[in-house]
Structure 1
């Protein structure tokens, strides 16, 4: 494997163990809106034998997804890798949000009641900056904002984290691949160190991943989905990883991916999503996956690596 693996502090692992013993799921912990106790400073720099654990939209079981609060909490828990989603406003600003509408994770319906269906691409960056992206999750996060990609990159860099960046629904945003690369470059994310160890770009669109590879052949790229084994060699031409939903894979399929060399001549990898419970985490670990993308990274880390 060629991506540095983060370690997680014992405090984070203990929280996952405690949740499991007490029968509390990540979603029930999230509904309580009480984030886990932070790990000690500097956690996340060692090497573990298990799969890499990626904090999906940040530590999104405990803080509002895709916000700066969520990635800060992932950092405090000791997780180096965070995942996000990138879309574009009507005036061309890249922002970090999962849905192509603003309704689920902001108060857009209250602030702009006449703008249904409240699509990201129909609002300016200034309008989106006015929205509360935290209250829907818990009142303690009231006032959290939808971050611009540039602000998000700056925070991830400050936290000394690594980024699994998803280009979301590129069919809605022509040219978003080149624009994303431009912002990454301006933010200092396309130097040799970041490209080699701190950044992966992925998408559900094979055409989008292929274009990113053409524009920046040095970048690590991933396709989100579960192609048939016979189709995998075609993906290996422009991707380094295949990142599938955990319910769609088997150990045999994972071996088929590992048996191919990706766009950079290394064995292809598999990072599966979204796994939030210990039993499923152990199941996909035993299938041989290289990474697990999760809303509850502490729970998964404890399940696959222990103390």
Structure 2
């Protein structure tokens, strides 16, 4: 696998735009935790997507605990807000798919969400990985996850559906600061919303940010690809200027590799190289098969999101 890009340093021209975020470079003996985090990002990162969610119900204690046991570099999770203003770790806007409830998550209080079974669905959906202990697992708050793992682990948080929550960014940054995760270099924030990321950057410029992108054909069978939110053009039309615009507030991009059941490939090695040449890390989601993992490793990506961190770690080692 290609590793030469891991030792690259970021251009000095971006220093002003990044505000107080120190630039990744060679690890210094006296580097503070925030700089050390950025230095560490220059190495390949195994990102446990909603925990080890191929083995256990996503975003539950078993999924996160197994991800830790599998030595993932990051615990990835989505953050949303309850009707009574609590931050919870949950992916979908609705609770139908992964609990025994139904409706919009934002309409439920934390107490109501805690009464739901967020584990049994997994045993029905994935019988090969079923475990009786998964039944009855609760939806977790962000505070609960951080209090359990502290700064021993690093967190890769997605601001989910920020348009639904008027003060999600403020509440999230405040929580991270209160728990000491920013000053300890323990957290990354990602989002598809560039406006949400820019809001976070204004609130605390020491938090590394990753701009999520999703490439797909606008019409079925169309060869021309577009990006879901319009933050960039299609991957083949994305210019250095487009990447540099992202680099003003983010340290990386998170992108899909394929689209649809037929797994249409939407990025290639040239896309990865161009993003990295513009001082952006490239993290790719969500890759669960070894063939796809190895392809990306050969391209020299900086990290991979996966439901199976054990599979990825076996290849990296």
Give the alignment's TM-score, normalised by structure 1.
Answer: 0.75
For 1:189, the equivalent position in structure 2 comes to 181
For 1:250, the equivalent position in structure 2 comes to 268
What is the CA–CA distance in structure 2 between the aligned matches of 1:302 and 1:80, rounded to whole Å? Answer: 14
Shift of 1:152: 1.3
1:134 aligns with 2:126: no
What is the CA–CA distance in structure 2 between the aligned matches of 1:85 and 1:187, rounded to whole Å? Answer: 18
For 1:106, the equivalent position in structure 2 comes to 99
What is the CA–CA distance in structure 1 between the aligned matches of 2:101 and 2:168, rounded to whole Å? Answer: 24
Structure 2 unaligned spans of 5+: 1-5, 7-23, 27-39, 124-131, 215-231, 259-265
1:111-260 pair list within 5 angstroms:
118-138=103-123, 139-157=132-150, 160-191=152-183, 193-194=184-185, 198-225=186-213, 227-228=232-233, 229-230=238-239, 231-247=242-258, 248-260=266-278
Shift of 1:199: 1.1
Distance 1:223 1:134, change over 3 A: same
What is the CA–CA distance in structure 2 between the aligned matches of 1:238 and 1:71, rounded to whole Å? Answer: 29
Shift of 1:184: 1.1
Shift of 1:147: 0.4
Q: CA RMSD in A?
A: 2.1
1:285 aligns with 2:271: no
For 1:56, the equivalent position in structure 2 comes to 49
Distance 1:51 1:156, change over 3 A: same
Shift of 1:276: 0.4
What is the CA–CA distance in structure 1 between the aligned matches of 2:138 and 2:150, rounded to whole Å? Answer: 19
- 4+ aligned runs moved over 4 Å, structure 1: 1-4, 47-50
